[in-house]
Amino acid sequence: MDGLELFPGIDLGARQSAGDSCIKPIGRRAAGRRRRAGAAPRRPPIAHQLLELRRLIVAQHDELMAELQALRQHRRNEGEIPAAVLRRITEIQRHLRLVETPAMPRVTRRRSLDG
């Protein structure tokens, strides 16, 4: 008599159902432990809050740096534009002879710079 004849209701090669257990069928590898589909490892609430706080601080820092850069550029443009524009206008006027080019006074023995 064979050992399998003693227990005729047992089928050692077939699985019971998809999620019943982790029984290793003969000739097959054991199935891994199954996790729930939506379950993800949870972070402690403090770590989650710290990450959120850090993200907000970085976003505000980036925004402030962009505004500061824009203000610096605006101030630089305000300081440079009038002088450059006036210089260019003067060059154009002199080129078109609308304004006389200033002549340096000649310094001689008879005419000194003092008077």
Q: Return the beta strands (E) in 1-115 as ranges.
A: none
Within 13 Å of residue 74, how many CA atoms lie on the same side as its CB?
6
Round to whole Å and give the CA distance between 68 and 24.
66
Location of structure tokens 């006036």 = 86
**What's the whole-model pTM score?**
0.35
Tens-digit pLDDT profile for residues 50-107: 999 999 999 999 999 999 999 998 888 777 777 778 888 888 888 888 877 777 777 7
Q: What is the pLDDT of residue 102?
A: 75
Which of 7-16, 19-28, 44-53, 60-69 has the highest mean predicted lDDT (pLDDT)?
60-69
Round to whole Å and give the CA distance between 17 and 23.
11
> CA angle, corner 58, sides to 53 and 64, nearest 5?
125
Domain limits of the chain?
44-98
